[in-house]
Structure 1
Amino acid sequence: MKKIWFFIAFTAVLFACSDNNRSNNNPNIPNYSVNAYLDTNLPTYNKLLYPSNPVYVANYGAKGIIVMKTGEGTYNAFDAACPNQAFNSCTAMTIDGIYAVCSCDKSQYNLFTGLGGKEYPMKQYRVESSGTIIHVYN
Protein backbone atom coordinates (compact mmCIF):
# COMPACT_ATOMS: atom_id res chain seq x y z
CA MET A 1 0.00 0.00 0.00
CA LYS A 2 2.87 2.40 0.81
CA LYS A 3 4.33 1.81 -2.65
CA ILE A 4 1.06 2.81 -4.30
CA TRP A 5 0.86 6.08 -2.32
CA PHE A 6 4.50 6.83 -3.11
CA PHE A 7 3.84 6.26 -6.83
CA ILE A 8 0.76 8.51 -6.76
CA ALA A 9 2.66 11.27 -4.93
CA PHE A 10 5.65 10.96 -7.27
CA THR A 11 3.40 11.13 -10.35
CA ALA A 12 1.60 14.22 -9.00
CA VAL A 13 4.92 16.00 -8.41
CA LEU A 14 6.19 14.99 -11.83
CA PHE A 15 3.16 16.44 -13.62
CA ALA A 16 3.08 19.56 -11.45
CA CYS A 17 6.66 20.37 -12.45
CA SER A 18 6.24 19.78 -16.18
CA ASP A 19 5.85 22.59 -18.71
CA ASN A 20 2.49 23.26 -20.29
CA ASN A 21 3.42 22.46 -23.89
CA ARG A 22 0.07 23.74 -25.13
CA SER A 23 0.84 27.28 -23.96
CA ASN A 24 4.57 27.28 -24.56
CA ASN A 25 4.39 25.79 -28.06
CA ASN A 26 1.89 28.26 -29.47
CA PRO A 27 2.23 28.48 -33.29
CA ASN A 28 1.11 32.15 -33.19
CA ILE A 29 3.91 33.36 -30.90
CA PRO A 30 7.59 33.04 -31.85
CA ASN A 31 9.99 31.67 -29.25
CA TYR A 32 12.20 34.46 -27.97
CA SER A 33 14.72 34.11 -25.19
CA VAL A 34 13.59 35.91 -22.03
CA ASN A 35 15.92 36.76 -19.15
CA ALA A 36 14.55 39.75 -17.23
CA TYR A 37 15.49 40.94 -13.76
CA LEU A 38 12.91 43.28 -12.18
CA ASP A 39 13.78 45.15 -8.99
CA THR A 40 10.69 45.96 -6.91
CA ASN A 41 12.62 48.82 -5.25
CA LEU A 42 12.30 50.71 -8.55
CA PRO A 43 9.09 52.74 -9.03
CA THR A 44 8.37 50.98 -12.34
CA TYR A 45 8.06 47.58 -10.63
CA ASN A 46 6.86 48.71 -7.20
CA LYS A 47 3.32 47.41 -7.88
CA LEU A 48 4.74 43.88 -7.88
CA LEU A 49 5.07 44.06 -4.11
CA TYR A 50 1.29 43.56 -3.86
CA PRO A 51 -0.89 40.72 -5.20
CA SER A 52 -3.17 41.31 -8.20
CA ASN A 53 -1.25 44.37 -9.49
CA PRO A 54 0.12 43.33 -12.89
CA VAL A 55 2.90 45.22 -14.63
CA TYR A 56 3.67 45.37 -18.36
CA VAL A 57 7.38 45.15 -19.20
CA ALA A 58 8.34 46.09 -22.77
CA ASN A 59 11.26 44.72 -24.80
CA TYR A 60 11.08 41.10 -23.60
CA GLY A 61 9.45 38.12 -25.29
CA ALA A 62 7.41 38.56 -28.44
CA LYS A 63 5.45 41.70 -27.48
CA GLY A 64 6.61 42.37 -23.94
CA ILE A 65 5.71 40.48 -20.79
CA ILE A 66 3.03 40.88 -18.15
CA VAL A 67 4.11 40.00 -14.61
CA MET A 68 1.81 39.73 -11.59
CA LYS A 69 2.26 38.72 -7.97
CA THR A 70 -0.28 35.97 -7.24
CA GLY A 71 0.49 35.33 -3.58
CA GLU A 72 3.23 35.49 -0.99
CA GLY A 73 6.44 34.84 -2.92
CA THR A 74 4.66 33.63 -6.07
CA TYR A 75 4.43 35.36 -9.44
CA ASN A 76 3.11 34.67 -12.92
CA ALA A 77 4.65 36.00 -16.12
CA PHE A 78 3.06 35.78 -19.56
CA ASP A 79 3.92 37.04 -23.01
CA ALA A 80 1.82 40.06 -23.99
CA ALA A 81 1.24 38.72 -27.52
CA CYS A 82 -2.35 37.66 -28.26
CA PRO A 83 -2.18 33.86 -28.12
CA ASN A 84 -5.00 33.17 -30.60
CA GLN A 85 -4.17 35.74 -33.28
CA ALA A 86 -1.50 35.93 -35.98
CA PHE A 87 1.63 37.48 -34.47
CA ASN A 88 1.75 40.65 -36.60
CA SER A 89 -2.00 41.32 -36.60
CA CYS A 90 -2.31 42.71 -33.04
CA THR A 91 -0.49 45.07 -30.73
CA ALA A 92 0.55 43.94 -27.25
CA MET A 93 -2.29 43.00 -24.93
CA THR A 94 -3.38 45.61 -22.42
CA ILE A 95 -3.98 45.14 -18.71
CA ASP A 96 -7.48 45.50 -17.29
CA GLY A 97 -7.40 44.60 -13.59
CA ILE A 98 -6.37 40.93 -13.34
CA TYR A 99 -7.00 40.37 -17.05
CA ALA A 100 -4.96 40.83 -20.21
CA VAL A 101 -7.09 42.00 -23.15
CA CYS A 102 -6.25 41.23 -26.79
CA SER A 103 -6.32 44.31 -29.04
CA CYS A 104 -7.71 42.36 -32.02
CA ASP A 105 -10.69 40.43 -30.69
CA LYS A 106 -11.04 41.89 -27.16
CA SER A 107 -10.63 38.40 -25.63
CA GLN A 108 -9.76 38.48 -21.93
CA TYR A 109 -7.17 36.21 -20.33
CA ASN A 110 -6.94 35.67 -16.57
CA LEU A 111 -3.47 36.58 -15.25
CA PHE A 112 -3.73 33.98 -12.47
CA THR A 113 -4.18 31.12 -14.94
CA GLY A 114 -3.42 32.45 -18.43
CA LEU A 115 -6.72 31.01 -19.63
CA GLY A 116 -9.17 32.86 -21.81
CA GLY A 117 -11.65 30.32 -23.14
CA LYS A 118 -9.94 30.11 -26.54
CA GLU A 119 -7.80 27.40 -28.14
CA TYR A 120 -4.49 28.64 -26.73
CA PRO A 121 -3.80 30.11 -23.29
CA MET A 122 -1.24 32.87 -22.79
CA LYS A 123 2.40 31.89 -23.29
CA GLN A 124 3.88 31.53 -19.81
CA TYR A 125 7.43 32.13 -18.55
CA ARG A 126 9.19 30.88 -15.44
CA VAL A 127 9.53 33.22 -12.46
CA GLU A 128 11.78 33.15 -9.39
CA SER A 129 11.96 35.78 -6.68
CA SER A 130 14.76 36.52 -4.26
CA GLY A 131 14.47 39.51 -1.95
CA THR A 132 13.46 42.48 -4.09
CA ILE A 133 14.49 40.87 -7.42
CA ILE A 134 12.04 39.03 -9.67
CA HIS A 135 13.69 36.91 -12.37
CA VAL A 136 11.56 36.07 -15.43
CA TYR A 137 13.05 33.58 -17.88
CA ASN A 138 12.46 30.61 -20.16
Structure 2
Amino acid sequence: YIHRVGRTARGASGCGRALLFLLPSELGFLKYLRAAKVSLNEYEFAEAKIANVQAQLEKLIEKNYFLNRSAKDAYRSYILAYASHALKHIFTPDALDLEAVSRGFGFAIPPRVNLLISATGGG
Protein backbone atom coordinates (compact mmCIF):
# COMPACT_ATOMS: atom_id res chain seq x y z
CA TYR A 1 0.00 0.00 0.00
CA ILE A 2 1.13 3.60 -0.40
CA HIS A 3 3.73 3.71 2.39
CA ARG A 4 5.24 0.36 1.46
CA VAL A 5 5.10 1.05 -2.27
CA GLY A 6 7.06 4.23 -1.60
CA ARG A 7 9.94 2.06 -0.48
CA THR A 8 10.21 0.67 -4.01
CA ALA A 9 10.98 4.22 -5.21
CA ARG A 10 14.23 4.48 -3.28
CA GLY A 11 17.42 4.61 -5.29
CA ALA A 12 18.83 6.60 -8.17
CA SER A 13 15.71 6.59 -10.36
CA GLY A 14 13.33 7.70 -7.61
CA CYS A 15 10.45 5.69 -9.05
CA GLY A 16 9.07 2.30 -8.26
CA ARG A 17 6.27 -0.09 -9.06
CA ALA A 18 4.08 -2.41 -7.06
CA LEU A 19 1.44 -5.01 -7.75
CA LEU A 20 -1.65 -5.01 -5.55
CA PHE A 21 -4.18 -7.84 -5.49
CA LEU A 22 -7.65 -6.98 -4.18
CA LEU A 23 -10.66 -9.09 -3.37
CA PRO A 24 -13.88 -8.00 -5.08
CA SER A 25 -15.06 -6.66 -1.71
CA GLU A 26 -11.91 -4.49 -1.50
CA LEU A 27 -12.23 -2.71 -4.86
CA GLY A 28 -13.56 0.39 -3.05
CA PHE A 29 -9.96 0.94 -1.92
CA LEU A 30 -9.09 2.04 -5.46
CA LYS A 31 -11.08 5.24 -4.87
CA TYR A 32 -8.71 6.16 -2.02
CA LEU A 33 -5.63 5.38 -4.09
CA ARG A 34 -6.91 7.58 -6.92
CA ALA A 35 -7.65 10.39 -4.43
CA ALA A 36 -4.03 10.12 -3.27
CA LYS A 37 -2.96 10.59 -6.91
CA VAL A 38 -1.54 7.08 -7.17
CA SER A 39 -1.12 6.09 -10.80
CA LEU A 40 -3.08 2.88 -11.40
CA ASN A 41 -3.25 0.30 -14.15
CA GLU A 42 -5.94 -2.30 -13.59
CA TYR A 43 -5.58 -5.82 -14.93
CA GLU A 44 -7.97 -8.73 -14.93
CA PHE A 45 -6.84 -12.28 -15.51
CA ALA A 46 -8.94 -15.15 -16.79
CA GLU A 47 -8.84 -17.89 -14.16
CA ALA A 48 -8.39 -20.49 -16.88
CA LYS A 49 -5.06 -18.89 -17.85
CA ILE A 50 -3.60 -18.92 -14.33
CA ALA A 51 -1.48 -21.95 -13.42
CA ASN A 52 -2.62 -23.75 -10.28
CA VAL A 53 0.49 -24.12 -8.12
CA GLN A 54 -1.38 -24.48 -4.82
CA ALA A 55 -0.43 -28.11 -4.18
CA GLN A 56 3.25 -27.45 -4.90
CA LEU A 57 3.21 -24.35 -2.67
CA GLU A 58 1.60 -26.24 0.22
CA LYS A 59 4.12 -29.08 -0.11
CA LEU A 60 7.04 -26.64 -0.14
CA ILE A 61 5.76 -24.70 2.89
CA GLU A 62 5.10 -27.95 4.77
CA LYS A 63 8.59 -29.38 4.16
CA ASN A 64 10.79 -26.30 4.60
CA TYR A 65 10.94 -25.08 8.21
CA PHE A 66 12.19 -21.59 7.34
CA LEU A 67 9.58 -21.04 4.63
CA ASN A 68 6.91 -22.37 6.98
CA ARG A 69 7.99 -19.98 9.74
CA SER A 70 8.10 -17.03 7.31
CA ALA A 71 4.71 -17.93 5.84
CA LYS A 72 3.19 -18.22 9.32
CA ASP A 73 4.64 -14.83 10.34
CA ALA A 74 3.36 -13.25 7.12
CA TYR A 75 -0.10 -14.80 7.62
CA ARG A 76 -0.24 -13.41 11.17
CA SER A 77 0.91 -9.96 10.01
CA TYR A 78 -1.68 -9.94 7.23
CA ILE A 79 -4.53 -10.71 9.63
CA LEU A 80 -3.34 -8.11 12.16
CA ALA A 81 -2.96 -5.47 9.43
CA TYR A 82 -6.39 -6.28 8.05
CA ALA A 83 -7.97 -6.05 11.51
CA SER A 84 -6.29 -2.71 12.24
CA HIS A 85 -7.02 -1.07 8.87
CA ALA A 86 -8.71 2.33 9.16
CA LEU A 87 -11.10 1.64 6.26
CA LYS A 88 -13.23 -0.95 8.08
CA HIS A 89 -16.08 -0.50 5.59
CA ILE A 90 -13.79 -1.93 2.89
CA PHE A 91 -11.47 -4.18 4.90
CA THR A 92 -13.95 -6.02 7.12
CA PRO A 93 -12.09 -8.53 9.33
CA ASP A 94 -15.24 -10.53 10.11
CA ALA A 95 -15.77 -11.13 6.40
CA LEU A 96 -12.28 -12.57 5.89
CA ASP A 97 -12.28 -16.19 4.77
CA LEU A 98 -9.35 -17.39 6.90
CA GLU A 99 -9.13 -20.70 5.05
CA ALA A 100 -8.77 -18.90 1.71
CA VAL A 101 -6.28 -16.43 3.19
CA SER A 102 -4.20 -19.25 4.67
CA ARG A 103 -4.12 -21.00 1.28
CA GLY A 104 -2.65 -17.80 -0.15
CA PHE A 105 0.24 -18.22 2.28
CA GLY A 106 0.71 -21.89 1.38
CA PHE A 107 -1.24 -23.63 4.13
CA ALA A 108 -3.83 -26.34 3.50
CA ILE A 109 -5.51 -25.38 6.79
CA PRO A 110 -5.14 -22.12 8.73
CA PRO A 111 -2.20 -22.32 11.13
CA ARG A 112 -2.64 -21.44 14.78
CA VAL A 113 -1.15 -18.01 15.35
CA ASN A 114 -1.03 -15.65 18.32
CA LEU A 115 -2.96 -12.53 17.37
CA LEU A 116 -2.21 -10.70 20.60
CA ILE A 117 0.05 -7.67 20.38
CA SER A 118 2.45 -7.11 23.26
CA ALA A 119 2.94 -3.70 24.89
CA THR A 120 6.52 -3.62 23.56
CA GLY A 121 5.29 -3.77 19.97
CA GLY A 122 6.36 -7.34 19.28
CA GLY A 123 4.07 -10.31 18.87
Same fold (TM over 0.5): no
TM-score normalized with structure 2 length: 0.22
TM-score normalized with structure 1 length: 0.20
Greater relative contact order (CA < 8 Å, ≥ 6 in sequence): 1
More helix by share: 2
More strand by share: 1
